[in-house]
Amino acid sequence: MELAYARLNRKRYSPQSPGKIKPLMSNKDVSIVIVDDMQFSRVVVQAALKKAGFSNIRVTSCAKDALKTMEEEHADVVLADWVMPEMDGLELTDIIRQRDEELGVYTAVILFTAQEGIEPLVEAFNRGVDDYIVKPPNPHELAARVNASARIAALQNDLLETSQQLEDTVKHLEEMTLTDPLTGVGNRRLLTRQLEYHLLDASARRGGVCFLMLDIDHFKNINDTHGHDVGDEILIGFTRRIRRTVRPTDLVARMGGEEFGVIMHYTRAENFKPSTLDRLLSSINQRPFKTSVGDLKVTASVGVCFYQGEGEQPSVLNLIKCADEKLYEAKANGRNQIAY
């Protein structure tokens, strides 16, 4: 059943009284659910609340009916009897708190009680009850406590909504952040997205996807000897050489640290030439890299896996794993070489 939620309470600055916060929720806007198995108690409480100006009131005789009506419309405040058959007030509170957590909302819960002693009340508050009223309730006290609980619910819901908006914003920014800030090429997120697209396209059109993983040899020694600023200079220069060597349609991405990935897509698998890989390695090794501490000789190891568009399509993770294994094979064989 689709949930329909009451509009959350909002606060604003009143132009008539600068600096003071004016509440937009009046008594008639507060959504209240009364749960009591005693008809007389329900009538008395409802009448007292209506006299205090509350109009959005739903009355139920058991916890199950209360939960059902709350599914149809969210309640700001639930007034429930502590002792009820089938499901008591504390059990109802447990379910409300669970639902609140799942739905990202908050419902204030007030229990009517004839319980005496501190221990039952401590248990009630620990279970998530916000307030309690001793039976029979004083009408003025009842209205005041409902008002206070409605304010608590409104503040909690404002906080939850703000938190959700922040989470959505962060998620959106993460999705939009597809480039590596240092080198300007794509990052791992972009690479995996594009690799998935190219694999699907190659499988459908009998094309080819060549995926390369490149790793700068002994990069840790560069950082340890010359510092991370020089290491960043090497990373930027390394990226430029790759981009100048591969085709404009090939995707270059920094996967993390000194590790890079290149996606080469071919409409026909036979158009791929292994000499392309040799040319890439030669471009990296052709001359030392100019840095702020002088020219530094840098080599790289390359692992390559190629999907020819036939047979079972590999997953993105499997293709990356394949190239990664070939990369470590190249390193194990002495570095500065290609394992295909």
Distance CA 25, CA 210 (A): 61
Residue for token pair 């952040």: 177
258 is catalytic: yes
- Contact between 122 and 22 under an 8 Å Cβ cutoff? The reply is no
Cis ω on the peptide bond leading into residue 136 (within 30° of 0)?
yes
Q: Which two tokens stand for residue 33?
A: 């659910």
3-state DSSP call for residue 3?
A: coil
Helices (H), the chain: 39-51, 63-72, 89-103, 118-126, 139-176, 188-205, 219-226, 228-245, 275-285, 316-332
Q: Is 57 helix (H, G, I), strand (E, B) or coil?
A: strand
CA 186 – CA 125 distance, rounded (Å)? 52
Instruction: Write down the catalytic residue from 258, 270, 310, 329.
Output: 258
Nearest to 77 by CA among 127, 111, 119, 101: 111
209 touches 202 (CB < 8 A): yes
Residue ranges of alpha helices (H) inside 177-254 are: 188-205, 219-226, 228-245
For the chain, how long is the longest CA-to-CA vector?
A: 93
* Tokens encoding 292: 């702020």
Strand partners, 23: 11
Helical pair 275-285 and 228-245, crossing angle rounded to 10 deg: 140
Classified as helix, coil or strand, 50 is helix
Which residues is 291 bridged to in the sheet?
294
Active-site residue set: 258
